[in-house]
Amino acid sequence: MNNLIQSEWYKLRMDPSFRTLILIIVGLSLFWPLFQYFDHIADGETQATGIEMFMDAISGNPNIFKIALCVLAGFFISSEYSTGVMKSIASSGNRRGRIFTAKLLVFSLGTVILALIFPVINMTVSTLFSGFGELPGEAGFIYVIRTIGLTILCVTALASIATLFATLMAESGKTIAITIVLFLSIDLLFGIVGQYIPFIRNLYEYTVFKQLYDVGTVAPEGGQLLRMIGVPVMTFACFGFIGAWAYRRKEIK
């Protein structure tokens, strides 16, 4: 199992799409706080502190992350079916359950890296310019640590969903197109249907898609915090199990 994980980690680090996504997100992460800084100077406004930029970045991060997640799923997972790499791995003697688990764990790690770049760099650059700042009602350090932890949970849960689709589609183009449409439209879909069916609206509150937008909540109540932890964990476990089951029964050509 350790060899499989090391092999997947090496492939991820060498993957051109992963490197390109990192460069793009790093570029955006540096541009935004610098743009805000000089724009505030020009307008004579008070500079945003590190914690304020972190909160803004967390609120805008889901859409950046979702697109990056879908692209990486297509190139890192689905493309291996069309290139024959997955067939070679499956015939290597390792159990399919181990192969899928290693792929899922490394893919989840890659998505976590992509998801944390934007808020962390925004906070770091703004802190260097304007200081870390303070957060009413809660210590800023505790808020940052908890928000990062909850983001990691939600990101890995979404990664398990993307891994399932990438396994079923087995083509990078289809995977990218379908997952982008799904991840970017599902909140709107829940909102529209939820207007007519209260059960759907209530169900949305207990999905990882909703929890992803709640990770930046300041001082969440006990019940809300428990939900923000439990929903992603159960989602990752469920979709991870379904994905492993589908991979074991998949005919790899």
- pLDDT per position as a tens digit, 20-79: 999 999 999 999 999 988 888 887 788 888 999 999 999 988 888 899 999 999 999 888
pLDDT at 101: 92
pLDDT under 70: residue ranges of the chain: 93, 253
Q: What is the pTM of this model?
A: 0.93
Q: Residue 209's closest CA among 103, 62, 106?
A: 62
In sequence order, the 6+-apart residues with CB closer than 8 A to the CB of 168 are: 246, 250
Q: How big is the CA angle at 202 (ends 115 and 58), to the nearest 5 degrees?
A: 20
pLDDT at 28: 93
Q: Residue 51's closest CA among 117, 113, 114, 126?
A: 126
pLDDT at 253: 66
SS (H, E, C) 129-187: HHCCCCCCCCCHHHHHHHHHHHHHHHHHHHHHHHHHHHHHHCCHHHHHHHHHHHHHHHH
Q: Give residue for tokens 């069916």.
A: 197
The helices-and-strands tally (H runs, E runs) of the chain is 11, 0
Q: Residue 99's closest CA among 252, 233, 253?
A: 252
Tokens of 191: 């909102």
What span, in angstroms and rounded, lies between the C-alpha atoms of 122 and 55?
9
